[in-house]
Structure formats: structure tokens, C-alpha cells
Amino acid sequence: MLDSVRLPGTLLAIFLCLLAVMAPLAGAELAQGMDRTRGEQPDRYFVVFETTPGEAERRIVESSGGEVRHTYTVVPALSAYLPTRTLLALEGNPDIVRIEPVIDAVPDEQEQASAQGYQWGVTNVGAHRIHEEGYFGKGKTVAVLDTGIDENHPHLNVVKGVDCTEPGCPDGQQDGHGHGTHVAGTIAATIDSPVSGVAPGADLYAVKVLRDHDAGGFTDDMLAGIQWAAENAAHITNNSYGFDQEPAGSTLLEAFARTYEDGLLHVSSAGNSGNEAGLGNNVTCPARYDSVIAVAATDGDDERRSTSSTGPSLEITAPGEQIESTAPRHADNSDTSTRKSSGTSMAAPHVSGVAALAWAANPNLSNEAIRELLVETAHELGDADLYGHGLVRAWPAVTAALSAPTSSQDDVRDEIRGAVAFDEVTTPQCAPVEPDKKIRATNWRN
């Protein structure tokens, strides 16, 4: 009788021991599952090391349960999916400098309409006059970091295309949204297009960093796109997206700064976080970074669009109201119509195009020199917090480039290195944090 009484107690003790062992594992799996489903906290992270990560650093992350997406050389980091248990395991690793959350960007509202006619923005910045003199931006390459570009569009000269929304940035550029194709057309639609771009002779890189279904994107994909553009000898990057909230960390900022130091010229939309009164400091990132030209938007009367972001980070202004540009075609390639859209996303590519025109006119200039002459030749419009230095102008910019003294890129690097200490770099506040804590990208809105 005693044995029959003890047996259930023994089984119970064994069960309790097993439960004690399995509970933490089950909790970790549950935490990992929660990481994948909840929207409040991202599950992609930048993992920053002391030196450029290699196989050993990948093993550190993967052996702890992480899934690596991108490995970077412009900054000593990689990005990866890190469930909670992996975060806890990596926190005390002496080889890791810091771990930062990757931001999931959400698009602004959109405005789209089919249309035909001449793109008024090209004439507003005076690019058509430069075309008449035989300057088209030939020899310069603009990397369009966006939703991709229609890969077989007859009026867009795309020489390379990659999809950085996939790990490793494999080949692929197709635009399932339309935003990137529109931006690309404003920069460099060919001279025989119904809506010729500002620099119709420039080459285009299609660097897909934004999703098709909502034009949102993750900052680790954007960093991968910046790195790819630098490694493939792009001259200019156009970044028609932005964050209305400060990213937690400086990894993306450092990538922009280091590639700018190495000769890339970065142009970005300033954002559509402005208000009718033009009050506040609400320029978004990456436009607010020192290494990036922040572009505001104006209408046909050279007046600021009411939603165009404002603040001391603004550098220059360009047309951004009802801009007509190229649109993706139908699957049967029958539709080569254009579309009108508005926002600072549409303003930034005008500046990228003018930069390509000026740089092609004098290829010996540095990116810093091109940036300076864009500012110096801009047409002043008013308050610098609303318009920066004024409206970008193609004719004076190209004229200034042709007569400018040249400086080596090494000289420019020395100047920039003297002004920026990368080990002490801090992230600026990119814009007021909205009550819902959402981060918004792609400034394509009404």
C-alpha cells in the first residue's frame, strides 16, 4: 500500500522538475513569437562592432539565435532579426559596441493622377536652357533609393538595379508602387520623353529600399542601399523619404557621413511635416543630417507648399507641386502615360538633376564644391527656415561649375574629417515625435 501511495508522488516530482526545466525555454519561444507579432517594438536591429564584421561576427549573432540580413562595410555593423532571448545573450558581449533598433517607416498620404503635358518644374529651375546649350548630365550617375524603377521604361536609362529590401541586395529593381519611377523621371527622363527630366543624359541606379505595397521601408535596407551606391561608384543619391521620429542610434547617420566624406553627394526631401503658418523645426531625417542636402518644396508661384517642412536644416528649394513625371507601365507594356504628384519627394529630384548637370559640366569638382555652388547660385525666396538658400537654378549652377577652380577629393576629405569626428557623432532630433510614435517615409502627399 505504501508503494502504491509513493508512485504518484514520484511522478509528480519528475513532472515538476521537467516543468522547471522547460518553462524558461517555452517562455523564450513565446517571447520570440511575440517579437514577430507585436508592432510596438521592432525585431530588426543594427549590431555595431569595433571593426568591420566578418564570419566571426556573423557567428556571434547566429549562434545566439539571430538571423543576419545585411553586412556593412561603410560602418562596422550588420543588421539582423534578434528575438528577445538573443538580445539578452548579446548584451554583455565585449565585441559588440551597441545594438540599435531598425526603424520601420510608414508612408505619408499619396496623390496620384494620370496626365499629359510638359513638366513645369524643369523650366522653373531653368534646365531647358542648359539643354539647349548641350548640357544633359552625361557621365554622372544618380542612385535613386526608392521603391525601384520600372525596369524596361523606354524613357529611363537605368544601368543597374538592386533590391535592398532583400538580404544582400540581389539584382532586381521593379517598381510595384510608382513612387520611384516618378522620382527617377524628374531626375533623368530622356529628352524625347513627354516629360523630359532635369538631367536627361544622366545614368540611373535603381536601388530599391522601399516596399511595393505601401512605400514604407526599414532603415537597415536604406543603409544597405547607401553602401551599394558607394561601392558602385554612384555620384549622387536621391532619398525621397524621411523619418518623423529620431532613430535610436547613429548607425545610419554615420553611413551617410562616411560616404559623403568619400565623395557621394546626398540629396533628400525635407519632409511634409510643415504647417500653414510655417512654424516649427520639423525637417525629417536623413535630410537633417549635416552630410545631406535638405530640399523644401514650392508651387508654381515660388511659394512654399503649406506642408513642406521648415527649420534651420533646410538648404535649398525646388518645385514640388503637381509635378508630372514618368509612371510604371502596365504588364503588357502598353501604357507609357505620366502622372502628377506633389510633395518634397518631388522637389528633391530636381536638385539631384541640377547637381548632375553642374557636375557633368565640370567632372573635376568635388561633391562638396557642387553642394556649395548649388547654394551660392540659388535664387533667394525669403525666410531661410522656409526656403533655405532659395530656389535651385540650373543655368547659374552650370555656369559656376564651368568657371570654378577644382580641388581634389582628398582635400575635401581632409576638410570633412576635420569637422566630423565619427567616433563622437550624435544623431540629431529628426522631427517632433508624434503622439502615435509612428515614423513616416516617402513624402508623397497632398
List, by residue number, the catalytic residues: 146, 179, 345
* CB-side neighbour CA atoms (13 Å) of 128: 10
Distance CA 283, CA 290 (A): 12
- Give the angle 425-427-428 at the CA atoms, nearest 5°: 125
Query: How buried is 182 (Cβ within 10 angstroms: 0-12 exposed, 13-18 middle, 19+ buried)?
Result: buried
Helix (H) or strand (E) holding 262, with range, is none
**DSSP-assigned letters across all residues of 376-433:** HTSBP-S-HHHHTT-B--HHHHHHHHHHPPP--HHHHHHHHHHH--GGG--PPP-SPP
151 contacts 174 by C-beta, under 8 angstroms:
yes
Burial status of residue 261 (CB atoms within 10 A of its CB: 0-12, 13-18, 19 or more): buried
What are the grid coordinates assigned to 117, written together? 503635358
The C-alpha cell 561603410 sits at: 74
**Rounded distance between C-alpha atoms, residue 437 and residue 446, angstroms:** 22
> Which residue, among 180, 263, 183, 254, has the nearest Cα to 217 in the 3D structure?
180
**From residue 266, how far is each of 86, 142, 307, 339, 378 by CA, in Å?**
35, 10, 22, 26, 18
**Residue owning grid cell 496623390:** 111
Closest to 392 measured CA to CA, from 250, 86, 186, 181: 186
Integer Cα distance of 122 and 20 in angstroms: 70
User: What's the gap between Cα 264 and its chain centre?
Assistant: 14
